[in-house]
Structure formats: C-alpha cells, structure tokens
Amino acid sequence: MSLFRASAGFRGVKRLGGIAGVLIKHGLGHVLERLAGRKKGDAKPTKHKVVSLKPGALSPRRIRLVLEELGPSFVKLGQLMSTRADIFPPEYVEELRKLQDRVPPIPFAEIEAVIEKELRRPLTELFAECDQESFAAASVAQVHNATLPGGKEVVVKVIRPGIEKKIREDIRLMYYLAEKIEHNFEMGRILAPTNVVREFERTVFRELDMLIEAGSIEKFAFNFRETDELYIPTVYWEYTTKSVLVMERIDGIKVDQVEEMKAHGIDPKEIALIGLRCFSRQLMEFGFFHADPHPGNVLVMFDGRVSLVDFGITGYLDEEMMRQIANIFLGYAEHDYDLVMEAFLDAGLLDEETMDLDSFRLDLKDASEAFYGRSLQSISVKDVYDQIIHLALKYHIQLPRNLLLLLKTFIQTEALGKIQGSDANILEFTKPYAKKLLQRGYEAKKLFRNLGKDTRLVGKYARVMPKFVHDILRQVAKGKQRIEVWHDGFQQLDMKLEKGLNRLTVGLVISASIVAAALVLNSAQKVLVLSLKFLGLETVSLTALLGVLGYIIATILGVWLIISIYRSGKL
C-alpha cells in the first residue's frame, strides 16, 4: 500500500500500521483507501466555504473513539480541535469536547526513577513521605501527594518517562496524515489540518516543561501579591526541574461543590465575585490569564479564599490586544457597536475589502442584544458561545489562538458563576476595569515609554534600511530582480502644475511691467519727444508712452488673473 511505502523513512512505520488497524476497526476503511491514494478526489479547492458534513460522512463519534484509542498525543490533538469552533463544524466540536485526558497511572517505580534522576538524590532523602498511589493521572504527567522533611505537605507532578519522544514521533505521523488528508479530501483542503497540527506542536511541548509551569505560578503570585482573596501555592524551586514540579498542597473545596461551601459558612455568590474580579484583572491589568479554570483546577479554601492549583495552560495578551478587548467590553456594556466594530478592525479580525461590514454589524447587534442586562443565571453560556462561533463561520473569521483561549476561559468563568448562583451582570462588572485600562493608556509615563519604544524602532529601521536598499540594487544590477514602477492619475496633476506655473509666470510679467513702467515714467531722460496737442499735452515722449503702455498691460493681465483664479474656486 502506498500509504506505508511513502512513510518508510519513519521509525514509526509500526505505529502507522497501528493507526490503519484502528481506522479499519471503527469502520473507516474507506478513509484509509483515500489516504493511500486509491481514490483521489477530483474536487477543486474551495475558498471561504463553511463545511457542513452530510449524513453518512465521517461520524463525529467515530472520530472521537479513534482518537481515544490512538492514545495520549491524538487525544490532546482532539482537545485542541474542540477549541477551534471557528474552523470545525459544531457537531464535531461538541463530540470532541468529550475527550478525557485520563489514562491509567504508570507504576510508582518508574515515577521514582524519574524523580531521583532529575533531583540526583534518593527519594527517601527528598521526602519524608510520598504516596505511591497517584491522585491524578493524565497523558503527559501524573501527580502524587508527598511531605517534605520539614513537614510541609506538597504535591509532586512528574512527566511520564519517554512521553516527549513518543509525542515527537506521533507529530511526524500527524503531519504526514494531515498532508494526505489535504491532498485527497475536499474537506481537508478547506479545514487545513496541517495548520492544526502545527498549532498543536507549538503548544504541547510547553506542557512537557515543568519549569514553564512553575514560572507561570510565580508570575501569578507576583501579580496578585497584594490580594487577600486569591491564594497562589508556593513553588519549591529546589525540588523543581524540567520533568518534576513540587508545589504547596492546597486543602479546600472544589469550586462547583456549592452545598459543601455553604456547610462551611462560605457564600458561593461571594466566591463567584472573587472569580470575576480575578478574571477581569488577569484580562485588563496583567495581560496574562489562567486558561483552564475548570472545577478541578479551582479550590475554595476553608477560610473563604480562592486558590488556583494547575497552571499548565495559560494565555498572554499584549497591550494592544488588551486595549482592543477593553473597547469590546466597554462597547458592549454601553451599546456602542461602532466602538466594538472599531476594536474588531484594529485587532485584524475583519477585512474591509472582502467583508460586508454593514451586514456583519447588523448580525452582531442581533446576536448581542438578547443578552443585555441579564444576570449570569439567565444567560445560557452555550448560546453566547454558539452565536459568536456562528458569526465567525459565516464571515470566515480566523480567530487567534490566545483569543480562543480567552473566549474559552470567559465561558468557563461565567459557567462557574452560574453554578454558584451569582446574579452579577458580567458586562457591568467588567466595565470599570475596561475604563481603567483605557485611561492608563493615556498616562504621561506610558506615553513617554511608548514614544521611546517607537523612537528605538525608527532608529532600528534607519540602521538596516541602507543595507536593504543596497541588496535590492545589487540584485537588480545582476539581473536577478526587476523593479517595475506603475503610476496612474498623473495627467491631471501635470495639468494642474502647468496651470499653476502659467499663473505664476503671468504674475511675474505683471510685476515686471509695473516696475518697468514706474521706472520709465519717473526717468528724467526723454527719448524721441513728439509735439502733440492732446488732452492739454503739448509734447509726449516715447518713454512716457512705453510707461503708460506697461501700466495698461499690467492692469489687463492682473484683472484676467484675478478672474481666472476666482472662477477656479481657489481664491
């Protein structure tokens, strides 16, 4: 089969055979034939087309089952696909959300070997106690409770041995299969699975580095250092490496266990407000947010504080994106759709040349007005999300990954507030934070900092521009490049320039005539004096006649020039 022959260079040929077996097992043998090139689609690529799979095509449930059986790497790929509702059809997104990143734990002996190798000390020296039974096991890592020699209770998160090598091999196969899908399926050409695999490759290896997660915890702790209502666990850096993370263990109640909170005298509505305040600050103050606030990652401590305990997925927003999001929130809160549209345009989400912006604005307003003034209890989170994704699909808007992460976080935060019975209006709640962010952008210190940054940028361009110009001219001189200059609309400019120059010339002639006539008339020398009795004059010289004639010509030209300028409307 050509599918296997083409991949003979991979060490994962056996793995590819296993993938083929899984596809056949789940009744997708016809997909395997298409991937092998036996039945090539003859449909031409279709640009900007919303995919709606017909009955009898690839079943969403079958796709989910295949991904689950193919193992951790493909499960994580499916989870990423479930967040890209701007690309994949709704029925597939809904099914892929069911993918659970839970796998049986590996034997503790393997975990112990990783810990001792990374920390270079026996486990008995590192911890007073370490539970051999893990309380959480996922495809990338598993977590154990432990106690430090000083008695401090901690959790130990350990990367599964060999997982990085396995993921790298699977990613190579993913790229190969994605290219085959794009080549043999019209749906593949539209959905561009290669880009999805590329995004997966860019993100998955961050989860394999515990130093990155530890750094995220420290950054959160610094950002909320003056906040009493949010508690961030301590990282024990002397026990933390690339494959091992040791952090403070937090005892508390899962944030969705409302009745247990009430039993401990904790008001769930206040917990919801803490969540909204912390989310608003992450979004509009720090530009760094926890992107997976599901109930398992958010605990309510017994003293009423909220704690985040897993920082494997985080998102970043630059200052410009923060301001655009603030404008979106503020525009929604004040029913100012012009402000919302301007923020969308500044963020590069809308294309003025290819999109019907008036229609988009109307659709946006129709989709949004139904949610105004309503509390979290009266809003269906799924309805909000579906409306946004519907607009993205209809107008072919590709949403950046961090914006999708933010949208997912927003929905999860809102859902938790709904579970806790909050009656807050999220737009009104975030409005002060948005205003504060926008006002901060106009502070003098900020303006001077931005000015300095722009000045450095201009200086950088000034340094490299001569080299760029030299390289271009050298290529042109060698005949490797060709410079073509197109101009249009210069004819009218030539006419305007010519008319202006003519008027300037006439003005100069008038000035010269007046000056010359004045000099001649005031001259004491007379040339060719004629005897002439006219209007009381007995003699008239030629110089006097020339001076008067100069005045007459200057007057006529001056009057003509004024009339022509007046008619042109430029007076």
pLDDT tens digit string along 241-279? 999 999 999 999 988 888 999 999 999 889 888 888 888
For residues 361 and 291, state if they share a domain. Answer: yes
For residues 273 and 377, state if they share a domain. Answer: yes
Domain containing 228: what range? 107-160+209-249
pLDDT tens digit string along 11-27? 557 777 777 787 777 77
Residues 6+ apart with CB under 8 A from 319: 287, 441
Least confident segment among 54-58, 236-240, 543-547 = 54-58
**Identity of the residue numbered 95:** E
For residues 310 and 434, state if they share a domain. Answer: yes
- Across the range 95-109, mean pLDDT stands at 81
For residues 372 and 473, state if they share a domain. Answer: no
d(CA 416, CA 411): 9
Supply 354's token pair: 């290819």
For residues 448 and 436, state if they share a domain. Answer: no
What CATH code is carried by the domain that includes residue 237? 3.30.200
For residues 377 and 474, state if they share a domain. Answer: no
For residues 404 and 322, state if they share a domain. Answer: yes
Least confident segment among 3-7, 90-94, 106-110, 340-344 = 3-7
> 16 and 3 in contact (C-beta within 8 Å)?
yes
Q: What is the DSSP letter of 235?
A: B
pLDDT at 561 > cutoff 90: no
Least confident segment among 229-243, 504-518, 533-547 = 533-547
Residues 6+ apart with CB under 8 A from 415: 381
**pLDDT confidence tier of residue 534, bands split at 50, 70 and 90:** low
- Across the range 482-492, mean pLDDT stands at 61
Q: Which of 101, 131, 209, 292 is catalytic?
A: 292
Task: Give the percent of the chain with pLDDT over 90.
Answer: 19
For residues 458 and 412, state if they share a domain. Answer: no
For residues 350 and 468, state if they share a domain. Answer: no
User: In total, how many domains does the chain have?
Assistant: 5
> 247 and 235 in contact (C-beta within 8 Å)?
yes
For residues 231 and 285, state if they share a domain. Answer: no
pLDDT reported for residue 303: 92
Out of 249, 275, 304, a domain closes at 249
Supply 387's token pair: 């409306």
d(CA 3, CA 398): 31
pLDDT at 461 > cutoff 70: no
pLDDT reported for residue 261: 92
Nearest to 86 by CA among 405, 316, 353: 405
Out of 454, 484, 514, a domain closes at 484
**pLDDT confidence tier of residue 450, bands split at 50, 70 and 90:** low
pLDDT reported for residue 5: 43
> 290 and 282 in contact (C-beta within 8 Å)?
yes
Supply 438's token pair: 């926008």
Which residue reads 């080299």 in tokens? 467
pLDDT reported for residue 493: 58
Supply 334's token pair: 């004040």
Give yes or no: 292 in active site: yes
**pLDDT confidence tier of residue 103, bands split at 50, 70 and 90:** confident
For residues 384 and 258, state if they share a domain. Answer: yes
Residue with the bigger pLDDT between 141 and 425: it is 141
For residues 552 and 474, state if they share a domain. Answer: no
pLDDT at 2 > cutoff 50: no
d(CA 177, CA 34): 11
pLDDT tens digit string along 385-437? 667 667 777 777 776 766 766 766 776 676 667 666 776 666 677 778 888 88
Mean pLDDT of the chain: 76
